[in-house]
Amino acid sequence: MATEALGWWGVPLGILAGTLRGSVPFLLVSLGECLTEKSGKINLGLEGTLLMGAMSAYAVSYLSSGIVGPTLASWLGVLTAGIAGMGLGAIHGWLAQQPRVNDVAVGIAMIIFGGGLANFFGKPFIQPQAPQLPTLAAGGWSSLSQVQSALQISPLFLLGVAIVPLMSWFFKSTRWGLYVRAVGDSPDAALAMGISIFWVRMASIVAGSFLAGIGGASLSLFYPGVWTERISSGQGLMAVALVIFARWQPWQCLWASLLFGGAQALGPAFQSVGIDSYYYLFNAAPYILTLLIMIVTCSPKRTLTGAPGALGQSD
């Protein structure tokens, strides 16, 4: 099919496509972090988990594609990424709950550890091409190749969107959700209820890291679809900040992730139609957004509404 120039229509289309493509890691990591923080601990190490997930998914997809075929291999990669994430999460969960250990400090150590591990084991996988996750072509109705390509939706995106109402329901209406919230809001009360703070937090951190690992898999197996040492470029940390201004609500995590994913496409989309000044500003859009929302929502006079009570308290 002949490719026609889209002109100005390319901007909204590019942002839409960027939203669908780029928001997946933000969504999965922020949902994972949302669960973790609800239980009263912060896991900054998700940046490292993201890298580890990306590397292990790519490696497993590449190595197993000869044995099980490309489609299954990529899904095997996703699963491995989740498991690798759980491994890192378990380390964080155990370390961060030791007496008088600061979870933020452990998180920073885990960023270095996860990233280092991923770079170390990932060396042989930079060059080869691994089979990518199959995508759902939702744009078949359009005759424009640009629209068709923009609407290549990753199953991981759908997975993330499906988790949103599920997690919301989990927090509101289930006994286990209540446990998590109780541990996060008032550990003493939870202890009095007979809930093991350690294991609830451990489970939340491990489950959250599982999601972050899958987020990493979407980076290396969906978009941009390569494994390099700079693949995450701070997205894990941004997703952690994103949870704060999503006020620990899964639904708001979804909107915030879409916003961030779309913001990444701003700079290139504008430049492609000839708005070529201030591209550094457009590229910085997500960070400026983060700062603005932090300033607007934070006040020294009151605590953030929705913040788990035990978050940031040492025990």
Cα–Cα distance between 4 and 20 in angstroms, integer? 22
CA dihedral of 234, 96, 306, 34, whole degrees rounded to 10: 50
CA dihedral of 188, 190, 192, 197, whole degrees rounded to 10: -80
Per CB under 8 A, contacts with another protein among 14-43 are 14, 17-18, 21-22
Integer CA distances (angstroms), 240 to 22, 32, 43, 139, in order? 16, 9, 8, 32
Does position 158 interact with another protein (CB under 8 A)? The reply is no
Size of the site for another protein (CB under 8 A): 57
Does position 75 interact with another protein (CB under 8 A)? The reply is no
Closer CB to another protein, residue 21 or residue 181?
21
The type of residue at 271 is: Q
Closer CB to another protein, residue 156 or residue 265?
265
Does position 263 interact with another protein (CB under 8 A)? The reply is no
Phi, psi of 281 (to 5 degrees): -65, -45
Closer CB to another protein, residue 4 or residue 300?
4
Does position 293 interact with another protein (CB under 8 A)? The reply is no
Does position 315 interact with another protein (CB under 8 A)? The reply is no
Does position 314 interact with another protein (CB under 8 A)? The reply is no
Contact 44, 210 (CB under 8 A): no
Cα–Cα distance between 128 and 82 in angstroms, integer? 22
Closer CB to another protein, residue 66 or residue 165?
66
Among the listed ranges 61-69, 74-82, 97-105, 245-253, the one in contact with another protein (CB under 8 A) is 97-105
Contact 158, 254 (CB under 8 A): no
Q: Which residues pair with 137 in a beta bridge?
A: 152
Among the listed ranges 65-73, 82-90, 198-206, 221-229, the one in contact with another protein (CB under 8 A) is 221-229
Does position 272 interact with another protein (CB under 8 A)? The reply is yes
Does position 231 interact with another protein (CB under 8 A)? The reply is yes
Cα–Cα distance between 236 and 74 in angstroms, integer? 22
DSSP code string of 164-188: HHHHHHHHHH-HHHHHHHHHHH-HH
Cα–Cα distance between 215 and 157 in angstroms, integer? 9
Nearest C-alpha neighbor of 310 from the set 187, 171, 179: 187
Closest approach, Cβ 182 to another protein, in A, equals 27
Closer CB to another protein, residue 212 or residue 231?
231
Does position 280 interact with another protein (CB under 8 A)? The reply is yes
Closer CB to another protein, residue 7 or residue 165?
7
Is residue 237 within a helix (H) or strand (E), and if so which, with residue range? helix 235-245
Closer CB to another protein, residue 194 or residue 274?
274
Closest approach, Cβ 59 to another protein, in A, equals 14
Closest approach, Cβ 106 to another protein, in A, equals 8
Contact 308, 40 (CB under 8 A): yes
Q: Which of 58, 75, 113, 171 binds another protein (CB under 8 A)?
A: 113
Residues at the interface with another protein (CB under 8 A)? 3-7, 10, 13-14, 17-18, 21-22, 95, 98-101, 106, 109, 112-113, 116-117, 119-120, 123, 126-127, 129, 145-146, 149-150, 223-226, 228-231, 233, 235, 264-265, 267-269, 271-274, 276-277, 279-280, 283
